[in-house]
Amino acid sequence: MLASRTVELFANGMEIARRAAADVVRIAGDAVAARGAFTIALSGGSTPKVLYALLAEHPSLRNSLPWDKIKVFFGDERHVGPGQADSNFQMATDAMLSKVPLRPDQVHRIKGEYPDTAQAAAEYEEVIRREFGLPAGAFPRFDLILLGMGSEGHTLSLFPGTKALNETRRIVTSNWVGKLCADRVTLTTPAANNAANVIFMITGADKACALKSVLEGPHEPDQLPAQMIQPANGNVSWLVDEAAGSMLSKRILK
């Protein structure tokens, strides 16, 4: 079974964040009712930052989330430690994690400060295996993974032409990104594709061409890694602002 896909257009990033917040509350409630816990992998980026602030500060949203039953993970991380301006963990902490009633053991970060990103990836994979109780060879089923997309079609830290695109057995891998001259740590494609729900949040005119290519162009995942995210037996939602969606055909919009 391939993903159930929806594409929706919004006026701006704030409207996307509001819609995503409602989806987070709904998916969390369903997960806790079904299994007693909600697992979410967070993304970096400006639109997720607005989402996190809403979840932490909007009274009705904050009060609707079962904070004591949430397990927080991260989809990827830069080769930096906490406290650095470009750390995904630090951004999420400043915007939400430090403002809500989560215990430290509920938040699982990637240790981007390690000199060896392969070590950080291996350790994070072990954390995920332990938290999900996975046998060897199994992949986690996150209730929700939040994603963005770069102007060249990358998502997570799966960049065009990089070795991580070919990883099929690992949950987490390190990935050298030549265009950035930097290492990253990222969930792999099969890990993302085992999620129950994936939400892409895409804003900005600089994403318009890549978004049209990802959603309507030929299947060329080596060039457009976001095309690889098609959860098996799951749902994927593309929440797009008017600028990013300006080149899309009306036929693919919900």
In the chain, how many domains are there? Answer: 1
d(CA 26, CA 155): 24
> Domain range holding 145?
4-252
d(CA 174, CA 125): 11
pTM of the model: 0.97
Separation of first and last alpha carbons in the chain: 21
Contact in structure between 248 and 240 (CB atoms under 8 Å): yes
d(CA 138, CA 160): 26
Q: What is the CATH number of the domain that holds 70?
A: 3.40.50.1360
Cβ density class 207-235: b for 16+ within 10 Å, e for less: bbbbbbbbbeeeeebeebbbbbbebeebb
The token pair at 228 is: 């690889």
Q: Considering only CA atoms, which of 73, 84, 55, 242 is closest in space to residue 156? A: 73
Q: What is the pLDDT along the chain (254 residues), one digit of tens a residue?
A: 456 899 999 999 999 999 999 999 999 999 999 999 999 999 998 889 999 999 999 999 999 999 999 999 999 999 999 999 999 999 999 999 999 999 999 999 999 999 999 999 999 999 999 999 999 999 999 999 999 999 999 999 999 999 999 999 999 999 999 999 999 999 999 999 999 999 999 999 999 999 999 999 999 999 999 999 999 899 999 999 999 999 999 767 75
d(CA 167, CA 164): 5
